[in-house]
Amino acid sequence: MNTRQLLILAPLVLVVILIQSYFWVPTYEQQTRGNPARLTEYITASIGDASLLNPILSADSASSEIGGLVFEGLIDRDEELRFRGRVASHWEIYEEAYFYVNESEELPTSGDDRPSAVAERIQSAISDTGITDTQLRAALDNILSVEALAPRDFSFTRDLKLSADDSESSKIRIDVSAPARIKLTLKQVDQDLFTHLAAVLGERYFDSFPALRYLRTEPDVPTEILDRWSRQILPAIEHNPVIVFHLRPGVKFHDGHVLDADDVRFTYESIMNPKNLSPRAADYEPVKTVEVLDPLTVKIIYKRLYSPAFGTWYMGILPQHRLNADALTAEAQRLGKDPQKFTMRHSTFNRQPIGCGPFVFREWKSDQYIRLDRFDGYWEGSANYRQYVYRIVPDLLTQEMEFYAGTVDSYAVQPHQVQRLKDDERFQNFSGVAFGYTYIGYNMRRPPFDDRRVRLALGMAIDVNKIIEFVLYGQGASITGPFVKQTDYYNHAIQPVPYDPQGALRLLAEAGWTRNSQGWLEKDGKRLQFTLITNSGNDLRKAILAVAQDAWKQIGIDVRTDLVEWSVFIQKRVNQLDFDALVLGWSMGIDPDLYQIWHSSQTNPEQLNFVGFDNAEADDLIVKIRQEYDHDKQVAYCHRLHAIIASEQPYTFLYVSKWTALLDRRIVIQTTDAAGNPVYEKIKPTKTGNYTFYFNKWIKLPEIPVFAAEG
């Protein structure tokens, strides 16, 4: 090799040395040699830090991942996706239904005591063995008790503008003389109860209830306004689903305080407290009351039909004694803050949480790591790992190198690596289709995104198939709407937005945007210009940023891009609605309730409908989906909602990703046999591909074990 060749190679050798030095980390053997504690700690890596560790306030995946280890809910789902008890050991679900006695409708067998006559009429139908209508028979057999309730009088005031010309609201006193009601206790929720009872009491019995007759106001209110109020104040019928949770005795928070029903009620009240700005409030708004029956029993009554009700109680339970009004006041005074302005969002609890989950919070160094220790007092038995470390490693290449060296125990394989790594015998690998999707969201409050034609045109200009092929290396599939693609709620009849740049230009021309002499689209002398943002540290989203920018520039749109550090991106840009367009993704659950993300009431700062989608028919469908207990009807509502959102294009729906994860082969499931000896099993995923379901049973061994099935 001559001198010239050496001079050419020298810089390359230096680069290789620098790279090796930069990515040098001790090998797994070097870590464990003389340090057996490494076998009892699990280390994972994330590109982004958590925002705040309070389950009722956080909405990002990093916070949720840590929160799931520190906190525990009343329930969750098992391996087969069936609900199972956690803090709650068991429960009952039934319904209390009410209707007002309609004095304007005569019953065939009514007497002087009309409420008793109505109750007796229903009791008679229950006892009637001659009823052959199977649906009516089932509805009647579902009734446990019938009770006539006495009339009642009550009053309240309401602020109201009595006409469009009024500059200020008037205080209106409303006096109500409510007639008798009938209370029905049902074995289980029956959304069609009153449809069936109309066959017993008369087809018009419920629809013709004259609520307006029982209201008086001071001053007088126009009849049309009072009539609308009357149906809200005295609804003819009322469904009140009920859940009674029975808590496990002796469940303790990490500070030793025993968890009880008051903590459950406090968690609900904290979610609904407007000062806390909880993004979860929409899930619990249908709750009428949360009643503590005794320290281990809580009764939750809903004010209307709400089919997702049970699943919402996965929410981590907060310790009342740490966050109630007295505790927050004392903390504010200790910190020199104004107690009147100090809320749960300001509490240091959000960075030093106390839950009752399997791991105890120990330390959080922002943008470096979060450390948790095993909770030996965990009600289900302590985890095998003594420590859980959540490291913030924004660079994916660094994550990969550290995984190979053993300084992190798992690695989310990037799409371009799947073919190379999924069959690597050095690692355990798991794969599946994500419950969620990636999208470009448009701030519909701002022009030009308030025009459907513009949003649709932006989607038509992007070749999503090329993103899937070249950015994801085929590890994804197109998606057209907001439901999980693996469920029947997803409307497969909806076709993806076509890749059609010329069609996009025609739509934009309809909206008034035409090319100027420089080739840029403009309207009224103003260039079509905006900024597309996403979080830093995610190479896939960064690539999508570039693809979208290039595609839009090709049709004359002046697009700027920006990468924002994760916590700033979420807290300052997304939560404060300060963006034009963004690239982001949703992780979804199985339940089809989309209220938080898509209902028009959820468009305020700190809420999840941050694109500002507002559609009356969609709102109506979202509510119907929440109230529908019949699966086929619920699916039909979901398909229509899917079609509306796909048509309006508040998002450009990009893809649902396929994922592959690698895990150190030394990590196994450890249980014990009858003699108390350790038994090792391979990590096994659930039917949805969740390989961390048995995490509390994981342990790391010095060597890769030989399993019985392998001889």
DSSP 611-624: T----HHHHHHHHH
**Rounded CA Rg of the chain:** 30
Instruction: Note whether 677 and 620 are same-domain residues.
Output: no
What would the pLDDT profile of 369-380 be if each residue is shown by its tens digit?
Answer: 999 999 999 999
pLDDT (mean) for 391-396: 92
Count helices and strands in the chain by DSSP H and E runs: 21, 29
Please tell me the predicted confidence (pLDDT) of residue 158.
Answer: 85
Rounded distance, CA 554 to CA 560, Å?
A: 14
107 pLDDT higher than 70: no
pLDDT band at 112 (very low <50, low <70, confident <90, very high): low
Please tell me the predicted confidence (pLDDT) of residue 588.
Answer: 86
Q: Where are the alpha helices (DSSP H) in 256-379?
A: 261-272, 281-284, 320-323, 325-335
In a domain, 251, yes or no: no
Cβ 435 vs Cβ 453: under 8 Å = no
Instruction: Note whether 233 and 365 are same-domain residues.
Output: no
Q: What residues contact residue 199 under an 8 Å CB cut-off, 6+ apart?
A: 133, 136
- Give percent of the chain with pLDDT exceeding 90: 76
pTM of the model: 0.79
673 pLDDT higher than 90: no
- Concatenating the DSSP letter of every residue in 366-387 gives TTTEEEEEE-TT-TT---S-SE
Between 26-35, 281-290, 422-431, 443-452, the lowest mean confidence (pLDDT) is in: 26-35
Please tell me the predicted confidence (pLDDT) of residue 523.
Answer: 96
pLDDT (mean) for 441-463: 98
CA distances (Å), 143 to each of 109, 148, 189, in order? Answer: 21, 14, 10
What would the pLDDT profile of 614-639 be if each residue is shown by its tens digit?
Answer: 999 999 999 999 988 888 999 999 99
pLDDT band at 164 (very low <50, low <70, confident <90, very high): low
Residue 706: which of 685, 680, 667 has the closest Cα? 680
9 pLDDT higher than 50: no
Instruction: Note whether 543 and 638 are same-domain residues.
Output: yes
Instruction: Note whether 429 and 464 are same-domain residues.
Output: no
Between 95-109, 266-280, 341-355, 463-477, the lowest mean confidence (pLDDT) is in: 95-109
Please tell me the predicted confidence (pLDDT) of residue 425.
Answer: 84
Q: Which tokens in the block code for residue 475? A: 């590890």
End of a domain among 192, 208, 241?
Answer: 241
In a domain, 469, yes or no: yes
Q: Which tokens in the block code for residue 373? A: 């220790």
22 pLDDT higher than 50: no
Count structural domains, the chain: 3
Instruction: Note whether 673 and 632 are same-domain residues.
Output: no
pLDDT (mean) for 420-430: 87
Please tell me the predicted confidence (pLDDT) of residue 110.
Answer: 45
Q: What is the 8-class DSSP label of residue 566? A: H
Q: Which helix (H) or strand (E) holds 302?
A: strand 297-302
Instruction: Note whether 505 and 625 are same-domain residues.
Output: yes
What would the pLDDT profile of 119-143 be if each residue is shown by its tens digit?
Answer: 999 999 999 999 999 999 999 999 9
CA distances (Å), 80 to each of 76, 669, 688, in order? Answer: 11, 19, 9
CATH of the domain at 685: 3.40.190.10
Cβ burial 514-531 (10 Å sphere, 16+ → b, else e) = eeeeeebbbeeeeebebe
16 pLDDT higher than 70: no
Instruction: Note whether 101 and 189 are same-domain residues.
Output: yes
In a domain, 15, yes or no: no
Between 9-13, 146-150, 605-609, 652-656, the lowest mean confidence (pLDDT) is in: 9-13
Rounded distance, CA 681 to CA 664, Å?
A: 14
Question: CB atoms < 10 A from the CB of 223, how many?
Answer: 10
In a domain, 588, yes or no: yes
Phi, psi for 689 (deg, rounded to 5): 90, 5
160 pLDDT higher than 80: no
Please tell me the predicted confidence (pLDDT) of residue 686.
Answer: 85
- Give percent of the chain with pLDDT exceeding 70: 93
End of a domain among 659, 681, 701?
Answer: 659
Cβ 74 vs Cβ 314: under 8 Å = yes
**668 three-class SS:** strand
Q: Give the domain range for residue 376.
A: 24-72+329-433+666-710
Please tell me the predicted confidence (pLDDT) of residue 510.
Answer: 97
Please tell me the predicted confidence (pLDDT) of residue 29.
Answer: 55
276 pLDDT higher than 60: yes
**Whose structure tokens read 């396929």?**
658
Please tell me the predicted confidence (pLDDT) of residue 708.
Answer: 53
Please tell me the predicted confidence (pLDDT) of residue 149.
Answer: 95
Instruction: Note whether 613 and 674 are same-domain residues.
Output: no
pLDDT band at 709 (very low <50, low <70, confident <90, very high): low
Instruction: Note whether 706 and 642 are same-domain residues.
Output: no
Question: CB atoms < 10 A from the CB of 237, how many?
Answer: 15
In a domain, 153, yes or no: yes
Cβ 491 vs Cβ 639: under 8 Å = yes
Rounded distance, CA 637 to CA 48, Å?
A: 36
In a domain, 414, yes or no: yes
Please tell me the predicted confidence (pLDDT) of residue 466.
Answer: 95
CA distances (Å), 578 to each of 549, 606, 609, in order? Answer: 19, 11, 13
Residue 497: which of 656, 611, 649, 613 has the closest Cα? 649
In a domain, 194, yes or no: yes
Please tell me the predicted confidence (pLDDT) of residue 13.
Answer: 42
CATH of the domain at 496: 3.10.105.10
Please tell me the predicted confidence (pLDDT) of residue 4.
Answer: 41
**518 three-class SS:** coil
Indicate the average pLDDT of the chain: 91
495 pLDDT higher than 50: yes
Rounded distance, CA 348 to CA 643, Å?
A: 44
End of a domain among 222, 241, 260?
Answer: 241
Please tell me the predicted confidence (pLDDT) of residue 108.
Answer: 53
168 pLDDT higher than 50: yes
294 pLDDT higher than 80: yes
Instruction: Note whether 424 and 457 are same-domain residues.
Output: no
Cβ 618 vs Cβ 444: under 8 Å = no
In a domain, 397, yes or no: yes
350 pLDDT higher than 80: yes
Distance of CA 606 to the CA centre of its chain: 14
Rounded distance, CA 304 to CA 235, Å?
A: 11
Instruction: Note whether 30 and 109 are same-domain residues.
Output: no
- The residue that leads in pLDDT, 483 or 109, is 483
pLDDT band at 3 (very low <50, low <70, confident <90, very high): very low
Instruction: Note whether 553 and 627 are same-domain residues.
Output: yes
20 pLDDT higher than 60: no
Between 107-116, 611-620, 651-660, 679-688, the lowest mean confidence (pLDDT) is in: 107-116
What would the pLDDT profile of 212-258 be if each residue is shown by its tens digit?
Answer: 999 999 998 888 888 888 999 999 999 999 999 999 999 999 999 99
